Amino acid sequence: MGLTQDALAQYLGTSREQIGYYEIGQRNIPSIQLSKLANLFCMNEYDFYEEEMQNRSINLAFAFRAEKLQAQDLQSIAQFKKIVRNYLSMKNVMGNG
C-alpha cells in the first residue's frame, strides 16, 4: 500500500519486526490492529476475511494508498475516514442513500 514497515508499526503501536511477522504469516495480527488498519485503508474490518477472490480484489483496489506519511498523518486520515464511513452507513440506514 506504499507504507514502510516502520510507518505502519508506529501507527499500530508495535515494532517493525512484528509487522514483518504479520506480512509473512508467522503471527496473527490482533483484532484491535486489524480495526485500525481497516480505518486507515477505508475498509471494513470484515473485508480482511473475505474469501471470494473477486470481492477481495475489489476491496483492495479501493483501499487507501499513500507514501511518505508520518504516524500522525495516518492517525488523522484514519479518524476522518472512520467518520465518513459512519456517516455513509447512517445515511443508508435512514434510507437517504
Distance, first Cα to last Cα, the chain: 29
Number of domains within the chain: 1
* pLDDT tens profile 1-20: 678 899 899 999 999 999 99
pTM recorded for the entire structure: 0.57
Banded model confidence at residue 88, pLDDT cuts 50, 70, 90: confident
Instruction: Give the separation between CA 44 and CA 38, rounded to whole angstroms.
Output: 5
SS3 category, 52: coil
Residue 68: domain span: 5-93
Banded model confidence at residue 24, pLDDT cuts 50, 70, 90: very high
Instruction: State the cell numbers at 74.
Output: 495516518
* pLDDT tens profile 41-63: 777 787 777 777 776 666 666 56
State the pLDDT at residue 69. Answer: 65
